Amino acid sequence: MKKLKLIALVPACAAPLCALAHMGSDGGGHHGWLDALGQAFVHPFTGADHLAAMLAVGAWSALTMPGLRTAWRAPAAFVALLLAGALAGFSGIWVPGVEPMIAASVLVLGLLVLIQQRMPWGAAAGLAGVFAFFHGAAHGFELAGDTGMAAIGALLGMGLGSATLHLSGMVLGHALMQRHRWIAKLGGAATAALGAFMLTRLA
């Protein structure tokens, strides 16, 4: 229960900064690298799609990988490719299909949690990484007003925020979902339903 309380505290601690997360470049929040770091840290918490996908990656890894030695690899690949996608967004590179791929990632990752599908860690990391690139491109485009040290702070904050969500998902999967499989099925089904809803809105 202590672990679950810790998970619950993470979004609560980030809440005071959420109001700043979607301010434009003239909103007063992009004055330095520390401001950019704080805003980028909470950025993954402010969208249901990003939040659900990152928690799902962590939970899926904890549910399907035999131990920590392999369970961390898919979340690590997600963070790495998320930052690569963010760099593309910062650079103004147009990445096609961002919104459909984000919606598809929420659907697929939710289904993977629902059925607790096992796969080789390389395939799991590759799948997570592909989805992460599109999430990163969306974040990078939204935070593209940052330059210089602010951009470095934004990338660092984005990586730390995403890693926090992955870790929360892993703890949740290990501490709760492994013991109560119906919770994993319920959470996976809800995540997949969100992804399906997002896809229907794009159709």
Q: What is the pLDDT along the chain (203 residues), one digit of tens a residue?
A: 444 334 333 333 333 333 333 333 333 344 578 888 888 899 889 889 999 999 999 999 999 986 777 889 999 999 999 999 999 988 888 899 999 999 999 999 999 999 998 999 899 999 999 999 999 999 888 776 666 788 888 889 999 999 999 999 999 988 888 888 899 999 999 999 999 999 999 97
* Amino acid occupying residue 71: A
Asked, for residue 72, whether it belongs to a domain, the answer is: yes
Asked, for residue 9, whether it belongs to a domain, the answer is: no
CA 119, 87, 159, 56 torsion: positive or negative? negative
Q: Identify the pLDDT of residue 58.
A: 95
Asked, for residue 55, whether it belongs to a domain, the answer is: yes
Neighbour tally for 25: CB within 10 Å:
13
Please give the tally of structural domains in the chain: 1
Asked, for residue 1, whether it belongs to a domain, the answer is: no
Asked, for residue 166, whether it belongs to a domain, the answer is: yes
Query: In which domain, by residue range, is 165 found?
Result: 47-202
Asked, for residue 5, whether it belongs to a domain, the answer is: no
